[in-house]
Structure 1
Amino acid sequence: MLPRSPTLTAMLTLAGLTLVGCAGAEPAPPAASPASDGHGAVDGATEMSEPPLAVVTIDPAGVVRQLDLLDETVAELGDVPGTSQASTDGRYVFADGDEGVSVVDSGRWTWDHVDHFHYYLAAPAMLGDVPGHGAATVATTLSSTTGSTGVFFAGSGDAVLLDTTAMSRGELVERFRLETDPHDGMVVPIGSYALVTQPQGGVAASVSVLDEDGMPVPGATADCVDARGTVTTRVGAVIGCADGALLATLVDGAVELERIPYPDGTTAPPATTLEGRSGRPTVAGLAGNDAIWLLDTRERTWTLLPVDRPIVQATAIDDDAQHVLALAADGRVLVIDGATGTLLSQTESLVAESLATDAGRPTLVADQPRAYLNGPAEHVVYEIDFADAARISRTFETPTQPALLAETGR
């Protein structure tokens, strides 16, 4: 049984917070940029000359394997039975199971120092479980060795903020655990603060800023009806809302909330997930099944890109060529020009069987200059050179179904 936690609604009432509008914010330094003098180093880690990239897969039995993309060796890391979905911050893989979230340390990460990077390799480890009930939403920053990580359990309404610095030492430490009414919510870390959704009628309706001890920041609350989907970009932390997005940035050590509305007159469905290459300002989300929303958090603008066929996932590369990738319902990967919406290239149908069955969920992961796609039913992981006419650069066969996929080391 979970320990009894403070009720966030009561805390907000005691703090006298009310829903307020979002103040505009000038562009700020990257909200999630690490500030430690250690440049991401931890005891036992070796600094590398290039990112130690890998792909982590989880099969239906819960076996976690890590494929080293440099030497193509495979290591079995452990077991996370009952896993239904997985996410990553580039180092840790968070596997959502029946009774909580299992945390896997891949032992690979990149320290983003804005104008340069440091790369590290350490021994992988199974860190343990964060208990909770119902589907979990995990929100991370751009740092795997500092700050916090948010975990929200929809079934119980528990909002948990983990100490990421402690995780880098092999420990799972909760900065706070608060009770809210059950809903599809989230805890989104930013600097030494966290954004936590507040429900109304069982649906997330607003977002409040809390400090790392779980105490509300007076006056720091904003409307965000049907809040769904979150990502941290080079600019700040983003939460999707029914009418656009809420962007949180750090300005003079405080959190400022800014609304980025959808264009006037739009009839396209809102994005409920936001995905993109790590550390870039632009992210993408589905606008129904035949269009893509692009959110440029630096320019505070949305762009709608129609697609000529049904799609099931979209992600932004945000490179000089403005590539956007989409996974079509027929199993093809599409490479789209993010400025014009033009289809630049496409693969053959790679994961049609997986999309047509319940073998697992194909996931398209964007990096530079490659993308990765798992085919659970096909028992393969594809590496795609999207800048070279969507060429399949490598195909990795797997001993079991790679039901879930995450890239680590970036």
Structure 2
Amino acid sequence: MTVRRNVTPWASAALVLTALLTASCAGENDKSSRPEASSPSATPHGYVEGAQEAAEQQSRLLLNDPGSGNSRVLDLVTGEVHRTARIQGAVRLGTDGRFGYLHAPGGTHVLDSGAWTVDHGDHVHYYSAAVRDVGELPVGRGAQVRSDVAVTAVTDEEGKTVLYDRGELEKGGIASSGTLEGTYTGAVVPYEEHLLAFADEGGTAKLVVLDRKGTRVAAPDVKCEEPRGDALTRRGVVLGCADGALLVREEDGAFTAEKIPYDQDVPARERATSFHGRPGSDTLTAPAGDGAVWVLDVTERSWTRMDTGRVVAVNTAGEGSPLLVLEADGSLHGYDIATGKQTARTTTLLTGGEPAGTGGSTPVIEVDRGRAYVNDPEGKRVFEIDYNDDLRIARSFDLDIEPVLMAETGR
């Protein structure tokens, strides 16, 4: 693999973050998280067996070429490329921040990227470990997978949900911890030691809150027509509905659901059905039909519709960052979310110009705190974009496969 660079190292940022991490963790008084000096056998705060802790985010890209089945993991810190399982015919690649889920006809393959972040609220820990293949979940291409730190919920096309022990996945194994009774519409989302799901009641999707054994413990008085799409934010879980979205929050053990309506009649083909944003951000994006984008400000509980060119992929880092839209001309465009005006544009990134394919086979935009990544399958490369510097191409990574499917981990 060849890496073309146009960026200076982030050494100073790493040193600052190291100091902040040290100061923050040292300030914790909980004896369970800070070993006493007289106990040399005690493990240090944040210790994870088999992993190395770092001062900066350990981002990696999971890449797959469905045609050949070849998969790679690109380490964005070192530039190294790791070969991994050969999964042919995959149609989607999802991630929960550490594990990748390749949805193929024969099952859903689980890949441990070996990079993840643990957020303690006032500080974070960044970890890296070896890349490894975990194995197959016995569900096909239509399965939906959602995770938290304790459980992974896998919902098949019939609405049956099986729970898997997240701790076992981290050890390299697959172990079911139970199957939920009944069926649910859409993905079952783990949240605050519970599960959020939509139950069909009289032809209407009713939001229910389940404990980890599947027992219903709450049912906020709210309905959601045609639920589709979900995202976890710091404000709670956002669930897409035909007339907007629901924001589900937990406080002191109680769950509430608040409607965030479009405030206009939106045709079915222009509704937000898949959300994209930087993990930890409260700004979400979604295509709004062929030539526009929705921006959902979860903090303000407001939608903004922005007219763009024909949308291939969209994302944003939020918090004052530009809206990033990969358009049909093959170039990345930046927009000011407040004004709707275009502020920057790259040269054509996609070999052959307009991308082919639909759904999961189209290029994507992955975003973290400092960079965005765009895959060029036909050109066998990935671009790293500095979205805070007029969409400057900071690096490009030449690969030995066509990276049709891409997802970022370590965030």
Give the TM-score normalised by the residue count of structure 1.
Answer: 0.82
String of CA shifts for 1:134-193, please: whole Å, max 9, x gaps: 51222344xxxx233332222x3222333323322333233332365686x111110111
Whichever residue aligns with residue 340 of structure 2, its letter is G
Residue number in structure 1 paired with 2:90 = 83
Does structure 2 conserve the Cα–Cα contact (< 8 Å) formed by 1:294 and 1:316?
no
Measured after TM superposition, the shift of residue 88 of structure 1 is 1.2
Which residues of 2 match residues 348-367 of structure 1 at below 5 A?
Answer: 348-351=347-350, 353=352, 355-358=354-357, 360-367=361-368
**CA–CA separation in structure 2 for the residues paired with 1:193 and 1:390:** 40
Matched, 1:333 2:332: yes
8 Å CA contact retained: 2:70, 2:401:
no
SS class of match (1:377): coil
Matches within 5 A, 1:222-301: 222-264=222-264, 269-301=270-302
For 1:39 and 1:329, locate their aligned partners in 2 and report how far apart those are by CA, in whole Å. 48
Partner of 1:17: none
Unaligned runs of 5+ in 1: 1-34
Instruction: Name 1:217's counterpart in structure 2.
Output: 217
Match of 1:152 among 151, 155, 175: 155
**Separation in 1, partners of 2:163, 2:227:** 18
**Structure 1 position 48 matched with structure 2 position 54:** yes
2:122 pairs with 1:115: yes
Partner of 1:22: none
Distance 1:65 1:140 in 2: 23
- Given that 2:325 and 2:333 are in contact with CA atoms closer than 8 Å, whether structure 1 keeps it comes out as yes
Aligned to 2:405: 404
Deviations 1:356-395 (A, max 9, x none): 4349421111112211011111111111111111111111
Query: 1:358 & 1:348 partners in 2: Cα distance?
Result: 21
The aligned residue for residue 390 of structure 2 is 389
Give the TM-score normalised by structure 2. Answer: 0.82
Equivalent position amino acid for 1:224 in 2: C
C-alpha distance in structure 2 between counterparts of 1:356 and 1:286, whole Å: 16
The answer (yes or no) to whether the contact 2:181–2:214 under 8 Å persists in 1 is no
Partner of 2:62, secondary structure, is strand
1:195 corresponds to 2:193: no
* Identical columns (%): 37
CA shift in 2, pair 1:73/1:322, >3 Å: closer
SS at match of 1:165: helix
Kindly tell me: are residues 338 and 148 of structure 1, through their superposed partners in 2, closer, same or farther at Cα, counting changes over 3 Å? farther
RMSD: 2.6
Q: 1:131, 1:221 → 2: CA distance?
A: 35
| Cα deviation code 1:65-86 (max 9, x no counterpart) | 1111122111112222331110
For 1:173, the aligned partner's letter is A
* Alpha carbons of structure 1 residues 160 and 254: separation in structure 2 relative to 1, 3 Å: farther
Question: Could you tell which deviates more after superposition, 257-266 or 45-54?
Answer: 257-266
Distance 1:296 1:357, change over 3 A: closer
SS at match of 2:304: strand
Q: Distance in 1 between matches of 2:145 and 2:343?
A: 33
Go from structure 1 to structure 2 and tell me whether the alpha carbon gap of 1:211 and 1:179 turns closer, same or farther (over 3 Å shift): closer
Q: Which amino acid aligns with 2:335?
A: I
Aligned to 1:346: 345
Q: Is the 8 A contact 1:284 1:292 kept in 2?
A: yes
- Report the CA distance shift for 1:312/1:357 in structure 2 as closer, same or farther (over 3 A): closer
Counterpart of 2:64?
58
Indicate how the Cα distance of structure 1 residues 204 and 99 shifts in structure 2: closer, same or farther if over 3 A, else same.
farther
* Cα offset, 1:338, TM superposition: 1.3
Question: In the superposition, relative to structure 1, how do residues 179 and 264 fare at CA in structure 2: closer, same or farther (>3 Å)?
Answer: same
Is the Cα contact below 8 Å between 1:176 and 1:212 reproduced in 2? no
Deviates more, 1:280-289 or 1:56-65: 56-65
| Secondary structure of 1:167 counterpart | helix
Over 3 Å counting, the alpha-carbon distance change for 1:75 and 1:331 in structure 2 is: same
Partner amino acid, structure 2, of 1:261: P
Query: Using the alignment, how far apart are the partners of 1:240 and 1:353 within structure 2?
Result: 34
Q: Contact between 1:148 and 1:161, CA under 8 Å: does it hold in 2?
A: yes
CA distance in 2, matches of 1:233, 1:278: 7
CA distance in 1, matches of 2:215, 2:170: 25
Matched letter for residue 324 of structure 2? L
Task: Give the number of the structure whose alpha-carbon radius of gyration is greater.
Answer: 2
